[in-house]
Amino acid sequence: MNSVYIDKKKEAEFKKCLFTIFTLHWDQPDGFQINMKTIGKAIAKSFITVDRMILFFLKTGILCRCHNYMQHKQTYFYHKNGPLFNYLYKVRSNDYFDWVYAKNHNKDLLYLQDEYCSNSSEKKTKQLITSGKKRGRKPKTYIPDYNLLSAIVKEFLPVYDKLNKKQHEMLKINFGLRFNKNGNFTGRSHSFLCQTRNEKNDHSYDSTLPLRSEFMKELGLSGYKQVYDIKSEVPKTTILCNTGIWKPDEYDFYAKVVMGCEPLEINRELVKQLYMRFNFDTGSDKEQFNHFRNYRIFKLKCEHQISTVNATKLYYFRLENDAEYTFEEWTVMKDVINKIQGKSWGNLIFWWTSLIQTKTIFEILKDTGIRIYNVYDGFYAPQQITKKYLAAVVKKSANYIYDKYIKTTKYPY
């Protein structure tokens, strides 16, 4: 943070914010979400102030944005710039690293030197922190299916090597399939292209990322356009897992859900917004509905630029006037989704979608000698690669992945 001038007071705020982020996510090297509300409470600052600090950290490179699983700002995953953090907190003589080390190696008694707790010259007051009983439900632990991952690695690592050969670093595909600390499936394969801004979408809040067309032009791919995207990729792949059938492009999953919910008045966009929450959220139906309600209150707060208290009041006012959905209506939507797609395969679905995408790119390279690129379910190619041809290769790849892996994989949840 030396390259940008900030005054001493602001520097203290920024350091405390950054330190809070790093201590909350010290054991998550594979990426983490940032809960701005939690951090704001920890440093006694507003959501907007924390958001401004995070943008600053991105510009200075101490935080790196990875990807997002939904089209919303709060769903981004981040990586820590370890060497830079170590320079700021570990190498210098201070108590930050000592506390982090204690936090991870001594669970009974932790001491934190809090140099921001007082405005006086005396900043040696130590705050005692004990590892009290954790609240909430304990995450379920799974036995990682390393045999499945080993089989995938054996086939696809050579594929990635061939696809990445003589490629610009930012176009190389990162093999991101792995297990999290609970043994659950996580990750997906992606390149830096997945982090660029699509001009068709509103990314005004995130001007730090390059525009996709400009980025591709700089890398000599100005003739590449989005030729094809897999419509409703996650539900379509879930249906494949449960039935062995790859639905055609004409199949509109979200429209089917809307029809199935009649006479309840919902629209396609609402189903798209809620699908990921229905499919990947954990807990009982009541707990999931509470998460949905909190999400709606957050949306109202952002849309109307009001406090959380007023957004909550507005939510219940709208609920009384049938402008929001009750628990019973929410349950109807969830049941219809499960009836149409079958059981959810959780995060494992992103392994399958990654393999289908990779197989498609590799097959086209073998058939035509042309290297195409993807941003998850969207494929970018020169004009000689047609939409019809791409759709046919995607279907062939989906059937291959089903026969080779999905059909013989035990349902994990």
Give the structural domain span for 32: 8-129
Q: β-pairing, 32-33 with 225-229?
A: unpaired
Same domain, 78 and 102: yes
Same domain, 182 and 247: yes
143-156 average pLDDT score:
89
380-403 average pLDDT score:
97
Percent of the chain with pLDDT over 90: 34
Question: How much is the pLDDT for 66?
Answer: 65
Considering only 54-58, 158-162, 334-338, which range has the smallest mean pLDDT? Answer: 54-58
Same domain, 275 and 412: yes
385-398 average pLDDT score:
97
Tokens of 393: 């290769």
Residues 6+ apart with CB under 8 A from 22: 80, 85, 89, 100
What's the pLDDT tens digit per position in 269-294?
888 878 888 888 877 888 888 888 88
Same domain, 179 and 273: yes
What type of residue sits at position 129? I
Which among 111, 129, 147 is the end of a domain? 129
How many separate domains does the chain show?
2
The residue with tokens 């954790």 is 134
Query: What's the distance, Cα to Cα, between the start and end of the chain in Å?
Result: 44
Percent of the chain with pLDDT over 70: 78
CATH (domain of 36):
1.10.10.10
The DSSP element (H or E) to which 380 belongs, if any, is: strand 378-381
What's the pLDDT tens digit per position in 303-330?
888 888 899 999 999 998 888 888 998 8
What's the pLDDT tens digit per position in 189-242?
888 888 888 877 654 445 567 888 889 999 999 999 999 999 999 999 999 999
Nearest to 123 by CA among 16, 204, 218: 16
Q: How far is CA 80 from CA 70, 87, 144, 148, 396, in A?
A: 21, 13, 26, 29, 39
Same domain, 62 and 161: no
Which among 96, 111, 129 is the end of a domain? 129
Same domain, 16 and 93: yes
What's the pLDDT tens digit per position in 2-45?
344 557 778 788 888 888 887 777 666 667 788 888 888 888 88
Question: How much is the pLDDT for 14?
Answer: 84
Q: β-pairing, 178-179 with 185-186?
A: antiparallel
Cβ neighbours around 173 below 10 Å, total: 23
Same domain, 122 and 155: no
What type of residue sits at position 261? C
Question: How much is the pLDDT for 143?
Answer: 84
Confidence tier at 124 by pLDDT (50, 70, 90): very low
120 pLDDT higher than 80:
no
| Helix, coil or strand: residue 32 | strand
Residues 6+ apart with CB under 8 A from 53: 13, 14, 17, 18, 45
Nearest to 350 by CA among 241, 229, 191, 187: 187
Which among 100, 129, 158 is the end of a domain? 129
Considering only 73-82, 123-132, 300-309, which range has the smallest mean pLDDT? Answer: 123-132
Report pTM. 0.67
| Helix, coil or strand: residue 179 | strand
Same domain, 100 and 225: no
Partner residues linked to 380 by β-bridges: 226, 373
Q: Is-contact 289 329, C-beta < 8 A?
A: no
Same domain, 187 and 269: yes
Same domain, 91 and 202: no
Average pLDDT, the chain: 80
What's the pLDDT tens digit per position in 93-111?
444 444 444 444 433 322 3
Same domain, 299 and 378: yes
What are the backbone dihedrals phi and psi of residue 382, each rounded to the nearest 5 degrees, phi first?
A: -70, 170
Same domain, 16 and 151: no
